[in-house]
């Protein structure tokens, strides 16, 4: 999901957005502070300038919530760059028992039970905070944003990706 636009070779909107947020959060602490509150309904308006700059329609909950959720997560994580950790793997990584942890499985099941992107973004807020505090590596924010943006159109495929990532057996090196 992290390819540039094949027609132009240029980064797509999600990639440009994540790159911009990562860069600005490093350089502008006030910007980062405003974005940390972007996924809170009472203070989300503090992110609207950024969203409007990227042409995200503010009047529609989706895709606005997807962009706000990812921006807030990046700002909270103080990430230096886009990571490679997928959401399913990140949930498992938060627990010592990994995918065998009942708490991890419960968190995954809660995500998989979401019916629309609005519900998903509300549930993700707490999960992304947990991932930030427990996972040893940064999330692939570009992939996550693209998944959130496509969730309402193709939720079964996105949910299957998360489950596959979570339950995937690591391949052992043959020595």
pLDDT tens digits for the chain (175 residues)? 445 555 556 789 999 999 999 999 999 999 999 999 999 999 999 999 999 999 999 999 999 999 999 999 999 998 889 999 999 999 999 999 999 999 999 999 999 999 999 999 999 999 999 999 998 899 999 999 999 999 999 999 999 999 999 998 544 444 4
Domains, the chain = 13-167 (1.10.520.40)
Question: Could you tell me the end-to-end alpha-carbon distance of the chain, in angstroms, rounded to an integer?
Answer: 32
- Radius of gyration in angstroms for the set of CA atoms belonging to the chain, rounded to a whole number: 16
Q: Please give the DSSP secondary-structure letter assigned to residue 139.
A: B
Per-residue model confidence (pLDDT) at position 37: 92
Per-residue model confidence (pLDDT) at position 172: 44
Count Cα neighbours of 88 within 13 Å in the Cβ-side half-sphere. 16
Q: What is the pTM of this model?
A: 0.89
Per-residue model confidence (pLDDT) at position 174: 43
């Amino acid at each position: 999901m992290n390819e540039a636009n094949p027609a132009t070779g240029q980064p797509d909107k999600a990639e440009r957005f994540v790159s911009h947020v990562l860069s600005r959060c490093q350089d502008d602490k006030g910007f980062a502070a405003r974005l940390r509150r972007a996924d809170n309904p009472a203070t989300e308006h503090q992110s609207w300038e950024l969203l409007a700059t990227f042409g995200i329609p503010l009047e529609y909950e989706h895709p606005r919530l997807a962009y706000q959720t990812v921006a807030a997560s990046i700002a909270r994580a103080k990430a230096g760059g886009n990571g490679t950790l997928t959401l399913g793997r990140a949930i498992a990584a938060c627990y010592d028992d990994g995918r065998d942890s009942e708490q991890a499985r419960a968190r995954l099941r809660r995500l998989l039970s979401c019916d629309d992107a609005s519900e998903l973004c509300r549930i993700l807020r707490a999960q992304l905070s947990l991932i930030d505090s427990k996972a040893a590596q940064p999330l692939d924010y570009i992939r996550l944003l693209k998944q959130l943006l496509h969730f309402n159109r193709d939720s079964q495929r996105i949910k299957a990706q998360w489950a596959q990532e979570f339950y995937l057996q690591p391949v052992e090196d043959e020595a």
